Structure 1
Amino acid sequence: MEGCPMVVLHDAPEDTEYFLKAIFDSSFFERPPAPTTIPVVSRILRLSTKYDVGYLRRRALLHLASASPLSLEEYDAMSSTSTFGIKSSFLQLLLADDLGIKWAMPIAMFKVSCSLTIEQILSGVPPTFHLPPSLQRTCLSARNTLIFAQGHDTFCFVHVMDNPGCTNQDQCRSTRSLLLYALTKREILRPMGYFPSSWWEDIDPQELCGACCREGRIQYEEGRRRIWDRLPEMFALPSWEDLRAAREADLARPE
């Protein structure tokens, strides 16, 4: 066209724009920890996979891995490691599912199941993004499991009526009742985190005595670990060990 060779691409204009920017402008899409966004990661990863551009695909996978923890320790650090924030689980899940990147799916499925309402899981993000029926069923099924796990594992301490070492039975019982009420009335689940470390350290001894606080924190942390260990099973995914091996294999490929 006008004396220049032309190639016809059957890709979305937005995808092609980001892909070409990443190729011709090195500052547009740098390696982690440089910040980016999930739309940029998604579009570059899709086309770099399609056209076999190894260095860009690996770079996009590194960004995806920054928000795809495969251990509880990585999960707890995700807010500081993710290069595109922690509120992109819906698009992250669609990307991982479309490209078959299973190691990026557990946390995305977990967050979709917990942070979205049932109606949002079913209706998607109008007008463009919708989960396929198979993922909808998996997330809704896991949501029911997580509702039970939240009460039975992470927050089991709020159901305890009396702690033998308690020094203020009436007040501690009242505090646990208030916590239980706060948990049961929430439509958004928090099975992996509701009380940060600072909460346990700063809690008023008049609200929860030292013995109840120590026992509650132990049960809370043990419950989080039990839920984390079962997440792949809840979402019908391979084990954590297999997912870690798959991630290592993907990220070890030369650029």
Structure 2
Amino acid sequence: MDVEDLSKLKQHEKLWFEDGNIVLATDVHLYSVHRGVLAKHSTVFKDMLDLPNVGNTLRPEVGSIANGDSWEGKPLVRMVGDSDEDVYHILTALYELRFYSEHQPTTLPIILSLLRMSSKYNFSEIHNAITNQIESVYPNDLDSMKERDYRDLFEDYDNIADDYEFQLLAAVLQSDLRTVLPTLYFECATSQLDTILKSTESLHFEKQHVDKLLRGHERMVEYSYEYGIKQFVPQRTCTTQCSKSRGQLLANYIVDCPYKDPLQELLQESDANDDADLREAICKNCSKVISENLEAFRLEIWNSIPGLFGLGTWEDAKRD
């Protein structure tokens, strides 16, 4: 970004403070803000702003400044590699009290911006808050799976982008937020194969991550059909009515399986969503065996998730 490029930038309407003493430059806007605010919340900015030549840094991935760069007499930091949207969101989170709270749902773009920027520049308070909120929906303990609600994280969840979890996975990988990686990989891997291929291509996933998702997807398909067997074939012999009911439920399950998310339902212990009359016809002995089978299978799947994606164990994930 040379001097001529800078002259084309606009001062941001909301985030241009006349008493600001430093200017951040993206490829769209100039932001006049306060060095003290940045330094208080970000150790990266604090270290950078403490240097004799403000903005010079040995870390090429963060904002930088050439000797003598200034705007209206204020030091100017070029936000290298950061989108204008990301810079706007992180600054708004610093200056507007009600813009973001981990206890309130927000939009996917805000979540992605705050995650990327808080990780890159070590805005620790924001990073901790966004991590807690993401973990509430993508937990690393099985009990929490039963209580999670996507609407705690996302505003207008019913209209969210189809590839939202792949966008989130890309940001989590970039930010190295390991605590949520296993569950997020799992959710993406249980998507339709066409969705995995299109989303990873459009978001430019590295081959190693695409391979993990494809291997995980293959295993999840196997688990899905194994789940049907454990539900509906608990014993070889039983009453005719029970056997016929379980056989019909299994047939229905196999037909519907490619279009549903049975493993998510299992991990969340959701109520069965099939023919209630057929369920009622299953005898008590078979119902007991089914319940025991599913609980053991639920634990088996959960414990396998980190390893399926090369992430070790759940204990490894919790040691982010």
TM-score, normalised relative to structure 2:
0.65
Alignment match of 1:150 (pick from 207, 211, 224): 224
Q: Is 1:68 aligned to residue 143 of structure 2?
A: no
Name the aligned partner's letter for residue 314 of structure 2.
W
Q: How many matched pairs?
A: 238
Alignment RMSD (CA, Å): 2.9
Note the C-alpha offset of 1:182: 2.9
Q: Determine if contact 1:175/1:208 at 8 Å carries over to the other structure.
A: yes
Alignment of 1:176-191 (within 5 A): 176-185=246-255, 186-188=257-259, 189-191=261-263
What is the CA deviation profile of residues 122-149 of structure 1, one whole-angstrom value per residue up to 9, with x for unaligned ones?
11178x5343322221111122222222
Q: 2:86 aligns with which of 11, 15, 26?
A: 15
1:38 maps to amino acid:
L
**Residue pair 1:154, 1:221 contacting (<8 A) in 2 also:** no
Letter in 1 for 2:194: E
Deviation, 1:180, is: 2.0
Which structure's CA Rg is the greater one?
2
Q: Are 1:193 and 2:269 counterparts?
A: no
Higher relative contact order (CA 8 A, sep 6+): 1
Task: Provide the residue aligned with 2:177 in structure 1.
Answer: 101
The residue aligned with 1:118 is 193
8 A contact 2:105–2:151 mirrored in 1: no
Shift of 1:69: 1.0
Larger strand proportion, structure 1 or 2? 2
| 1:57 equivalenced with 2:132 (yes/no) | no
Query: Which structure 2 residue ranges, 5 or more long, are not aligned?
Result: 1-69
Residues 20-50 of structure 1 show CA distances to partners (whole Å, capped at 9, x for unaligned) of: 11011011011x3221233212101211222
Give the conservation status (yes or no) of the 8 Å contact 1:192–1:224.
Answer: no
Shift of 1:105: 1.0
Which position in structure 1 is the counterpart of 2:147?
A: 77
Aligned to 2:115: 45
Q: Distance in 2 between matches of 1:71 and 1:154?
A: 24
Letter in 1 for 2:316: D
Q: In the TM superposition, what is the alpha-carbon distance from 1:206 to its structure 2 partner?
A: 4.4
Could you say if the C-alpha distance between residues 47 and 172 of structure 1 is closer, same or farther in structure 2, counting changes exceeding 3 Å?
same
**Secondary structure at the counterpart of residue 191 of structure 1:** helix
Alpha-carbon distance in 1 for matches of 2:89, 2:251: 47
CA pair 218-161 structure 1, distance change in 2 beyond 3 A:
closer
CA distance 1:132–1:180, change in 2 (3 Å): farther
Equivalence for 1:175: 245
- In 2 relative to 1, CA 228–2 (structure 1 residues): closer, same or farther, beyond 3 Å? closer
TM-score by length of 1: 0.80
User: What does 1:201-216 correspond to in 2, within 5 Å?
Assistant: 203-204=276-277, 206-216=280-290
Correspondence 1:214-225 to 2 at 5 A: 214-225=288-299
Distance 2:200 2:319 in 1: 32
Q: Which residue among 84, 99, 103 is the counterpart of 1:28?
A: 99
Compared CA separation, residues 80 and 119, structure 1 to 2 (3 A): closer
1:240 positional shift: 0.6
What is the one-letter code of the residue matched to 1:97? L
Paired letter, 1:70: N
Match of 2:309 in 1: 235
1:176-234 superposed Cα distances (whole Å, 9 cap, x missing partner): 2233223323324422425955449x954643223222221221122111111111111
* In 2, Cα distance between equivalents of 1:61 and 1:196: 25
* Secondary structure of the structure 1 residue equivalent to 2:126: helix
